[in-house]
Amino acid sequence: MTQAPSSTAARERDEQVANRKAYEAVIERLSKASVDKHWEPYRDIPWDDPEFLVDPADPRWELPTVDKLGGHPWYRGLPPETRAAIGLWRVATAMKIGLQFENLLKRGLLNYAYRLPNGAPEFRYVYHETIEEGHHGMMFQEFVNRTKLPVRGMPGPLSAIAQAAPLIPLISTELFFVFVLGGEDPIDHVQRKVLKDDRAHHPLEETIMRIHIAEEARHISFARHYLRNRVPRMPAHRRLLLGIASPIILGVMARIMLAPPGALIRHFKIPLSVVSEIYLRNPAARQEIRDSIGKTRELCAEIGLVNPLTRRIWRLMGIWAEPGRA
């Protein structure tokens, strides 16, 4: 029988051991799930099936009227093929930016794993995640190639700055996993919303999204458990720095993931007044940005990263909402 702890210190030690054990059990479960349930893009997606071929004029690519751009009179006034091409362009750009983000993420994960000691349970899981992200990169790029559209990913200067992201784990592994959630959460949010919207989707887009959502659920779970395990034990000054950096990273990342692609605006000559109406002066666009990082915001509050000072930064970045309210 386990003896009752004799002092507060002993009880705290017991709690720490119990928390550590629960955390390790989660990592083990995620690692096992990665072996039991995973997808290979060139085995599990029937790319050449006639149903799966990409036709830019396919009306299933059209943006729905509930979409901010899709519902705008300028868009609705376009010929159907142009409406479809714009919709496809947007999906392809999201995949291109997604694969660039995941490229940075993989390099960061490997930098993190490089320094892990023997026996660390995170090592195996992080390798599973890196392999899955390798598959995602291939499947996103294959999709982009099949659209034959000249989509580009992140704008050049942003892409240059982003090359620093894989080095974040060398400074702070906690900040790195906030960055991970900053990219994965908005993508996941958008993909889940698309699949729930009751429209007929192209089977290739739908298959890719379903595979991605299923595997990302594990990645997001790992990042969240990692932060829950580590942040409350950080020294106060490091936790404060993390609390300051997190809303900045999350605010920038959500905008990168949800921003209108510049190349699309130029190619289809979308009038600037329409762009500004839809994305800049639109409370629904701001709400979308806030919502897309909602789960990460709640996690940050739960693990002690939000205080009166850092809450001001969340507000400044336009991503604050009172707990329980979206």
CA 123, distance to chain mean position in Å, is: 21
Interface characters, 34-63, with Fe ion (x: CB under 5 A): ------------------------------
Q: Is 136 exposed, middle or buried (0-12, 13-18, 19+ CB in 10 A)?
A: buried
Of 101 and 279, CB closest to Fe ion: 101
Of 62 and 216, CB closest to Fe ion: 216
Of 213 and 285, CB closest to Fe ion: 213
Count of other CB atoms within 10 angstroms of residue 149:
20
DSSP label at 65? T
CB of 252 to Fe ion, least distance (A): 18
> Does residue 218 belong to the site contacting Fe ion (CB under 5 A)?
no
Q: Which residues between 241 and 300 bind Fe ion (CB under 5 A)?
A: none
> Does residue 124 belong to the site contacting Fe ion (CB under 5 A)?
no
CB of 36 to Fe ion, least distance (A): 18
Q: Which stretch binds Fe ion (CB under 5 A): 40-48, 99-107, 145-153, 247-255?
A: 99-107
Of 98 and 261, CB closest to Fe ion: 98
Instruction: Residue 129: name the closest of 192, 208, 218 by CA.
Output: 218
Q: What is the CA radius of gyration of the chain?
A: 21
Q: Which residues between 168 and 187 bind Fe ion (CB under 5 A)?
A: 184
Q: Is 41 exposed, middle or buried (0-12, 13-18, 19+ CB in 10 A)?
A: buried
Of 256 and 270, CB closest to Fe ion: 256
Among 128, 219, 225, 239, binds Fe ion (CB under 5 A): 219
> Does residue 136 belong to the site contacting Fe ion (CB under 5 A)?
yes
Count of other CB atoms within 10 angstroms of residue 90:
19
Tell me how far apart the terminal alpha carbons of the chain are, to the nearest angstrom.
46
Q: Which stretch binds Fe ion (CB under 5 A): 171-179, 201-209, 215-223, 253-261?
A: 215-223
Of 98 and 251, CB closest to Fe ion: 98
Count of other CB atoms within 10 angstroms of residue 219:
25
Interface characters, 70-89, with Fe ion (x: CB under 5 A): --------------------
DSSP label at 259? S
Q: Which residues between 184 and 203 bind Fe ion (CB under 5 A)?
A: 184
Size of the site for Fe ion (CB under 5 A): 5
Q: Give the number of C-alpha atoms closer than 13 A to the C-alpha of residue 253, restricted to the C-beta side.
A: 28
- The dihedral sign for the CA sequence 116, 122, 125, 130: negative
- Residues whose CB is less than 8 angstroms from the CB of residue 223 and which lie 6 or more positions away in sequence, other chains included: 177, 180, 181, 184
Q: Which stretch binds Fe ion (CB under 5 A): 194-202, 213-221, 270-278, 282-290?
A: 213-221
CB of 3 to Fe ion, least distance (A): 43
Residue type, 152: R
Interaction site with Fe ion (CB under 5 A): 102, 136, 184, 216, 219
